[in-house]
Amino acid sequence: MSSTTTDRTGPADLAGPTDRAEPAGPAAPADLAALAERAGRELEEATPQEVLRWAADTFGRRFCVTSSMEDAVVAHLAASVSPGVDVVFLDTGYHFAETIGTRDAVAATMPVNVITLTPLRTVAEQDAEHGPRLHDRDPDLCCALRKVEPLNRGLGGYDAWATGLRRDESPTRANTPVVSWDPKRRKVKIAPIARWTQQDVDAYVAANGVLLNPLLWEGYTSIGCSPLSCTRKPGEGEDARAGRWSGSGKTECGIHL
């Protein structure tokens, strides 16, 4: 089991068992970019476990998994090949109680180290500066302040990060590489389940008893912040992410742009 750590910006003082090799230090961005390009080609047909083992072996403690706590699939996969792996969660201050509960359950029951990142300002402080319900009036700015900036800050001590993006989730994610170069953050970005379908995810969850956010059982298919302008249940025939920022034309929070 592991402890949840709040408002961390890197893994330097992280506690917890690991048998991963320690890289000498951060690699040069040019070297990382070339590595990502090569790995993207060579690992396209690899299993998620093989992709994650490559990441853990290559980057050691300078590798982490990010999770929205919609489910614990990627965290579970990573822990199966690299116990003690860092799992980074963004607490925006607007999450459903079920999402925070899923994070706490992951931290308490899985061999991972959950790190909770928080924005620079509380919701009340943001309201005082920008006015209330910024998520309704300017969702891009709200996401930038409460998601993108904390993640950029929190990934500072890593060379590579893994995400649960899948190609079947939406048209905007249809070309997601398994391994790629993240030029904005100058890090290697890994999507180990990019080639999986929802059926693959469901099968893995059933076979391994993986933790799921309870909201999935209530009809949500993509879970973000709790205001209705951010997350609603999709209608019949809509894609899995249709309930995110519904009616605004916004399709991504900015983390994956």
Catalytically annotated residues? 253
The dihedral over CA atoms of 96, 16, 157, 143, expressed in degrees to the nearest 10, equals 0
**First and final CA of the chain: distance in angstroms?**
33
Which residues contact residue 127 at a Cβ distance below 8 angstroms, ignoring those fewer than 6 apart? Answer: 134
- Identity of the residue numbered 8: R
| Token code pair at residue 4 | 């949840």
On whether the CB atoms of residues 178 and 40 are closer than 8 A, the answer is yes
H helices present in 25-95, as ranges: 29-42, 48-59, 73-81
Residue among 114, 44, 116, 42 at smallest CA distance from 79: 114
CA 125 and chain centroid, separation:
25
